[in-house]
Amino acid sequence: MTHEIALNLVDVHKSFGESQIIRGIDLAVEKGERHAIIGPNGAGKSTVFNLISGYYPLSDGKIELNDQVINGLEPFQINRLGLSRSFQVTNLFSRLSVFENVRCALLWSAGYKYSFWQLVGQQKQLNEKTKEIVDQFNMSHRSQTPVGELSYAEQRALEIGITVAGGAEVILLDEPTAGMSHSETEQAVDLMKFVSEGKTLVVVEHDMGVVFDLADRISVLVYGKIIATDTPDKIRSNKSVQEAYLGQLEEV
């Protein structure tokens, strides 16, 4: 059985000035796979996301989305090709309501472009779809609340909501559960499982519970390089991974 590759990173490099952050990454994420990237602080996980989504230009290498080269494209162009991402620090449209946030995230994919001759209030399909997503995220009671007033967990949930609203095939989530309590984390995992059904998901995460619960495969990024990509069990028993996390254990 051949696996179709949704996202393919080939020898990706990134330097800021003198300092090399990403030192040659190869990563192939299969279609429909849930893939986690883990690694110690400062390993460059968020940078990888920023490179994939077009936020930073590449220093060297190539990134393909469904066999189409996307490096060099603008973020909005990459998004239009079906890749959507969330942010580590909550990154919402702060003064708009929950409903409005979701609707804004839907507008382009629903084909409205820059239209100024249609009223959003009258777009039945659009509003129904928006409502559906708001309901999915259990936020119908907060629908009209400006997102600046939401609780942190709600904001994190909405962050995911906005990322998936446009119906992208490939979803990148950057530390979706950072700062959440245990119960909130559990809910968030359920949510992620639900929304990524049938889609390709790449997630950067620190909470190992989440990672092992969610991921089909895990890549470990250390010091700008991927040192291992494998199934969760194998990663767990991988010595160099433990070392990267905890230091050289045998010396203890």
Partner 1 sequence: MLKRYGVWIAAALILVILPQIFDSGFAITMLSEMCIAIIFALSYNMLLGQGGMLSFGHAVFYGFGGFISIHAINVVNDGGVPIPLELIPLVGGLAGFIFAIPLGYISTKKAGTTFALISLGLVELVVACVLLFPSFFGGEEGVSGDRMLEFSLTGVGFGSGIEVFYLIAFWLIVTSALMYLQTQTPLGRMANAVRDNPERAPFVGYNIHLVRFFQFSLSGFFAGIAGGLLAINYEIVNSEMIGAAASGHVLLMTYIGGVGHFFGPILGAILYTFLHLTLVNITMAGQIYLGVLFIVIILWAPNGMAGIIMVHRPLWQAGLIRGLLPHYLVALAAGLVVFFGAMILVEINYHLSLSIEPDNPIRLFGVEFKANSWPPWIVSIGLILVGFFLLRPIMKNIRLKWDELTREMQKGKFA
Partner 2 sequence: MLGVKNLNAYYGRSHILQGVDLEIRDGEIVSLLGRNGVGRSTMCKAVMGLVKPHGTVKYKGENIAGLPSHAIAHKGIGYVPEDRWIFPSLTVLQNLQLGQKDLKKQSRWSLEDIYQLFPILEERSKLRAGLLSGGEQQMLTMCRTLMGDPDLIMIDEPTEGLAPKIVELVKNLISEIAKRGVSVLLVEQKLTIALKIANRLYVMGHGKIVFEGTPQEFQKNASVRKEWLEV
Q: Are 204 and 175 in contact (CB under 8 A)?
A: yes
124 binds partner 1 (CB under 8 A): no
Partner whose binding site includes residue 236, from partner 1, partner 2, none (CB under 5 to 8 Å by kind): partner 2
Partner whose binding site includes residue 116, from partner 1, partner 2, none (CB under 5 to 8 Å by kind): partner 1
The total of other beta-carbon atoms located within 10 Å of residue 135's CB is 11
Where in 216-245 is the site for partner 2 (CB under 8 A)? 220, 223, 235-236, 241-242, 245
For helices 124-136 and 98-107, give the axis angle rounded to 10 degrees. Answer: 120
Where in 171-190 is the site for partner 2 (CB under 8 A)? 175, 178-179, 181-182
Dihedral over Cα of 206, 207, 208, 213: its sign = negative
Map residue 248 onto helix, strand or coil: coil
247 binds partner 2 (CB under 8 A): yes
Antiparallel, parallel or unpaired: β 170-174 and 200-204: parallel
Residue 129 and residue 127: Cα distance in Å, rounded?
5
Residue numbers of the site for partner 2 (CB under 8 A)?
18-19, 38, 40-43, 90, 150-152, 155, 175, 178-179, 181-182, 206-208, 220, 223, 235-236, 241-242, 245-249, 251-252
Residue numbers of the site for partner 1 (CB under 8 A)?
53-54, 74-76, 79-80, 84-85, 87, 91-96, 100-101, 103-105, 107-109, 112-121, 162-163, 165-166
